[in-house]
Amino acid sequence: MSEDGLWFLESFTKNQLHSFKVKRLISSFFTKFQKVDIVELEIFGKTLFLNGKIQSSQIDEFIFHESLVLPSLLTHPSPSEVLIIGGGEGATLREVLKDKKIKNAVMVDIDRELVEECEKHLPEWSKGAFKDKRAKIYFEDGEKFIEKADQKFDIVILDLSEPVEEAPSVELFTEEFYKKVYKVLKEDGIVSVQAGSTDPFYCQFFSSIVKTFQNIFPIVRPYWTFVFSFRMPWGFVCASKKYDPLNLDEKELVKRMEERGINSQKFYHAGIHRALFSLPLYLIESINSASIITKEKPFLWKA
């Protein structure tokens, strides 16, 4: 934050800075795990920053969260048990609970203070999801939760912040963790993950995530879209044991959405589903040459 309190400076990497005109400072503090800033920006509205990096904004959070959740949710023909790792704002939980087939949605976030602050100051994100009877919220390490889980899930959604140095999410973007996710999924389970930027310069993280999943799952479908508040295209990955999102046609998607009560989107629809999975050549080439992420060789953003 600048001295006059009017601008927020985001250090995206050592080579790129972004500045935002601030209308109102809502909350700024350190939790046990990370720096949290909730501000109202002149263009984006309410915006959440973690460790100085933008996470989601009022103007377009629906693009990110619908993209993260709905392609995988609808690829599964009958999901009832969903596990979310991360997702502090509650918007990922909101999208999951749109589906009437969901009986239990478990959300695990290591940072209780962050979740409570988001529920207080960003209620537009969760829209009551934390109070839904199908939701169960746990505040603990996501990897430890999966290791001791005594149930299997139809879908696991990894809504994690970027792996910057000393961030709690660094080891959750590794082959070792993804193998644990594989084990906690049912025989026809699906995992969905937010996978970082997909622009021509900063796409190495995305490509490495895809490559890592390809070493574990039989079906791996990377996809992308543009997120206005991130100022760049953003990537996601759907990795599945059985169902392929590319096998769904528009007619079947419309049917599933109608049957399951998924009808309040502002971005995702049946007609855009397959288009999301169409990658440009530079991303395909980047994936082919990418390295697998491990705990021994993690991916770290250098800010």
DSSP for residue 271: G
Out of 159, 188, 199, 249, which one is annotated catalytic?
A: 159
Cβ–Cβ < 8 Å for 274, 264: no
**Taking Cα atoms as reference points, which of 236, 256, 295, 288 lies closest to residue 92?**
236
Buried b / exposed e across 145-171, counting CB within 10 Å, b at 16+?
bbeeeeeebbbbbbbbbbbbeebbbbb
Alpha-helical segments (H) within 36-174: 61-75, 91-96, 112-121, 123-126, 142-148
As a dihedral over the C-alpha atoms of residue 257, residue 262, residue 265, residue 267, rounded to 10 degrees, the angle is -30
244 is an active site residue:
no
Active site positions, annotated: 159
